[in-house]
A and B are shown apart, each in its own frame.
Chain A
Amino acid sequence: MSSARKNILNRIESALDKRVDIPFPDYRQTRFAFQNNGLNLKAAFSEAFTALDGHLICCRGRKELAENLGKLVTAQGWANIRCQTPALLEDMELRSLPYINSSADNETEAGVTDCECLVARTGTIVFSASQASGRVLPVYSPAHLVIASADSIVFDIDDAIILLERKYNDQLPSGIFFASGPSRTADIEKRLVLGVHGPKEVYLFLMESELK
Chain B
Amino acid sequence: MNSKEKAFLSQSEKIVFDPDHRKKMNFSLKQADNAYKKGRLQFSDMETTKKIAKNIKWNAIEHLHTYLEEFETRFTRNGGKVIWAEDTRQALDAILNICKRNQAKTIIKSKSIVTEEIHLNSFLTKHNIEVLETDLGEYIQQLDGEAPYHIVSPSLHKSKEDVAKLFHEKLQVPPHLTPEALTLVVRNKLRKKYPIAEIGITGVNFILPDIGGIAVTENEGNAWLSASFPKIHIAITGIEKVLPSVHDLNLFWPLLATHGSGQRTTVYNSIYTGPKNQNETDGPEEMYVILLDNRRTHLLSDTTARESLYCIRCGACLNVCPVYKNIGGHAYEATYSGPIGAVISPYLNSAEAYKHLSFASSLCGACTEVCPVNISIHNLLLNNRRNAVENNFVSPSEKIGWSIWTKISRHRALMNWPGGWVKNIFITKLFRKSWGKRRSLPSFARQTFNQLRKKINKS
Interface residue ranges, A against B (CB under 8 Å): 1, 4-5, 7-9, 11-16, 18-20, 22-24, 27-36, 48, 52, 84, 121-124, 129-136, 139-140, 156-158, 161-162, 172-191, 193, 195-199
Among B182, B224, B249, which residue has its beta carbon within 8 angstroms of that of A198?
A: B224
Query: B280 to A130, Cβ gap below 8 A?
Result: yes
A155–B251 Cα gap in the complex (Å)? 14
Some 19 contacts from A to B, beta carbons below 8 A apart, are: A8-B86, A9-B69, A12-B297, A24-B51, A129-B282, A130-B279, A134-B282, A135-B228, A162-B247, A175-B227, A178-B265, A183-B267, A186-B153, A187-B154, A188-B158, A189-B159, A189-B160, A190-B153, A193-B179
B297-313: which have CB < 8 Å to A? Answer: 297, 300-301, 303, 306-307
Chain A residue with Cβ nearest B251: A33
Please tell me the number of chain B residues within 8 Å of chain A, measured between CB atoms. Answer: 103
Given A174-B275, A175-B228, also A188-B179 (CB < 8 A):
yes
List the interface of chain B (C-beta within 8 A of A).
27-28, 31-32, 35, 41-45, 48-49, 51-52, 54-56, 58-59, 62-65, 68-69, 78-79, 83-86, 90, 94, 134-137, 140, 153-155, 158-160, 163, 179-180, 182-183, 186-187, 190-191, 194, 211, 213, 219-222, 224-225, 227-229, 239, 246-247, 249-251, 253-254, 261, 264-277, 279-283, 287, 291, 293, 297, 300-301, 303, 306-307, 374
Contact A196 B183 (CB under 8 A): yes
Q: Give B117 Cβ to nearest chain A Cβ, in Å.
A: 16
In-complex Cβ contact of A185 among B84, B219, B253 (8 A) = B219
- If A5-B84, A48-B264, A186-B261 touch, whether A135 touches B283 (CB-CB below 8 Å) is yes
Closest to A25 in B: B55
Q: Is the CB of A16 within 8 A of B64?
A: yes
The CA-CA distance from A195 to B94 in the complex, in Å, is 34
Question: Which listed residue, A23, A129, A176, A186, touches B51 by the CB 8 Å rule?
Answer: A23
Contact A27 B52 (CB under 8 A): yes
Residues of B close to A198: CB separation below 8 A: 220-221, 224-225, 267-268
Q: Compute how far the CA of A7 lies from the CA of B291 in the bound complex, rounded to whole angstroms.
A: 13
**Complexed CA–CA distance, A27 and B47 (Å):** 11
Known: A175-B228, A179-B268. A134 touches B155 (CB 8 A): no
In the assembly, what is the distance between CA of A103 and CA of B177, in Å? 34
**Distance of A131 Cα from B183 Cα, bound (Å):** 30
Q: Are B275 and A20 in contact (CB under 8 A)?
A: no
A190: which B residues are within 8 A, CB to CB?
27-28, 31-32, 35, 153
Known: A14-B301, A187-B155. A32 touches B280 (CB 8 A): no
